[in-house]
Chains A and B, each alone.
Chain A
């Protein structure tokens, strides 16, 4: 049971480039989330999903897009990267399965450290 996995671990992008951050979970969780963590700012929610085919915006969605074609995968797409998107990105998932219908604590991946120059 790998939990939540994220790739890549590190990436440097030039301004205007695009990339996809990958996230997968093997816990059959319905809920998945993308956060960014900036120093001293805690975590800000970018997008979330309550199940395959359903996504919604969080607090800071501008410049990002997501899709959720399967329960396991929740990729985050950055279009036209900007220096303001330099951050550490965390994917997380939480319950809401047939055996765990309630949605309590979140399980986090190891993060992707992204630098845009």
Chain B
């Protein structure tokens, strides 16, 4: 069975500092990996994905994520945090090929402190 772990329920970072939100996964075969963001009382919004190719993927709003196959990780990063980045972040994984179920992590609340 596939799974996603987001080990931190909450991450606090000062505005202007770099941020990292951690994600590790378990899946059979090649993984497709995703990050989504959820603002209060809103649906999830897609940020970025890793399908194949370069291990460093860039996404919306200056976010990027690094795929590390040996560590089965896909951490979300941003060089300089903004107060407006405060939200709930979800990592998700699915196996490649055809229709495959997506498994979401439990989410990490990012709080950027002014």
Residues on A with beta carbons closer than 8 Å to the beta carbon of B90: 42-43
Chain B interfacial residues counted at CB < 8 A: 20
Alpha-carbon separation in the docked complex, A42 to B38 (Å): 11
Complex contact A103–B45 (CB within 8 A): no
Q: Distance (Å) between the CB of A44 and the closest chain B CB?
A: 8
Could you name 21 residue pairs across A and B whose Cβ atoms are closer than 8 Å?
A4-B43, A40-B9, A40-B107, A42-B104, A42-B105, A42-B106, A43-B44, A45-B102, A50-B99, A58-B101, A90-B43, A92-B43, A92-B44, A105-B34, A105-B46, A105-B49, A106-B46, A107-B46, A108-B45, A110-B42, A111-B41
Q: Which residue from chain B places its CB closest to the CB of A102 in the assembled complex?
A: B51
Q: Distance (Å) between the CB of A76 and the closest chain B CB?
A: 15
Q: Which residue from chain B places its CB closest to the CB of A91 in the assembled complex?
A: B43
Interface residues on A, range: 20 to 34
Q: Which residue from chain B places its CB closest to the CB of A58 in the assembled complex?
A: B101
Q: Which residue from chain A places its CB closest to the CB of B34 in the assembled complex?
A: A105
Alpha-carbon separation in the docked complex, A103 to B51 (Å): 11
B9, B43, B99, B107: the one within 8 Å of A108 (CB): B43
Alpha-carbon separation in the docked complex, A43 to B74 (Å): 19
Residues on A with beta carbons closer than 8 Å to the beta carbon of B36: 108
